[in-house]
Chains A and B, each alone.
Chain A
Amino acid sequence: MIPLSWYLTLSALLFSVGVFGVLARRNAIGILMGIELMLNAVNLNLVAFWRYLTPTAIAGQVFTLIVFAVAASEAAVGLALIISIYRRRSTIAADEINLMKW
């Protein structure tokens, strides 16, 4: 069967890709997509642990459900922010949005 470590490894890989995306992409929406990847990796991790270690306790799935809700609201607000920034500054390149500096 599929060992748990395969799922965890996959999740770790996906997470790292997401980290890279957050840190390296210029476009703000690109960063948000990286964040979505990271959240997905987390979800995958959670469900894998639920299925392999405590399949009877439904808390794993509940946790994942909550993460879904949080991710959705965060994406909504984030995108609204990006739109707002775009309206004011006509750019959404992360390294051009640097007003809060010295």
Chain B
Amino acid sequence: MSVLQVVFLVTGFVTLLAGVMVVASPKLIHAALWLIVSLAGVAVLFVLLNADFLAVVQVVVYIGAIAILIIFAAMLTRRVMTDSGPTHNPTWWLALVSALVLLGGLLALILQVPAFAQAGPTGLPLADSGLADLGTSLVDANRFLLPFEVASVLLLAALIGAMAVARPAAKPEEGAE
């Protein structure tokens, strides 16, 4: 067992454990914090996979923005949802069974393909994790400029949409005018 394998196993285990805690934790804030842990674990895994830029993006975007957002939302909806009532809905067992079957299926699929069992990544060591290439590909009209721009439009739309949805209902004006 090499060092990397150990690191992987530990990180993997932590991520999974955090994930299970996310879905099982009765208090929402705890679940949010466990989510942060899980996301961090994934960031570490990105580093292990030589996608260091993505790891940083993961931390910044997911942990720094999305998770924080989730915590904000949890706090904003706290008054009523004081973590009372059951955590899971009555048919959670069916969900468990479905998830397990899905897992079983996915694992079976994975194990079926022998190519996935190859020992190590190809092209080791990687020269620079392709960061410059990533950057240029995103603005190259022949490559991934379009998806990049579409994604930015999507973000704009989401921004506007979120603002519109979350706006409080307009109060009716007193008196005619």
Chain A: residues with CB nearer than 8 A to chain B?
1-10, 12-21, 23-27, 29-30, 32-34, 36-37, 40, 43-44, 47-48, 50-53, 55-56, 58-59, 61-62, 64-66, 68-77, 79-84, 86-87, 90-95
Most chain B beta-carbon contacts within 10 A, residue among A15, A18, A33, A48: A33
Which of B23, B76, B138, B162 is the one whose CB lies under 8 Å from A62? Answer: B138
* A contact residues around B72 at 8 Å (CB): 79
B116 touches A5 (CB 8 A): yes
Return 14 A-B CB contacts under 8 Å, by A number. Answer: A1-B5, A5-B111, A10-B16, A15-B103, A16-B100, A37-B38, A40-B39, A51-B49, A51-B50, A56-B123, A70-B151, A86-B77, A93-B85, A95-B89
B108 to chain A, nearest CB (A): 10
B47 to chain A, nearest CB (A): 10
Interface size class of B (residues with CB under 8 A): 35 or more
B31 touches A43 (CB 8 A): no
**Number of A-B pairs whose CB atoms are under 8 Å?**
258
Across chains A and B, which 6 residue pairs bring their CB atoms closest together, nearest first?
A73-B158, A1-B120, A23-B95, A21-B23, A80-B162, A24-B92
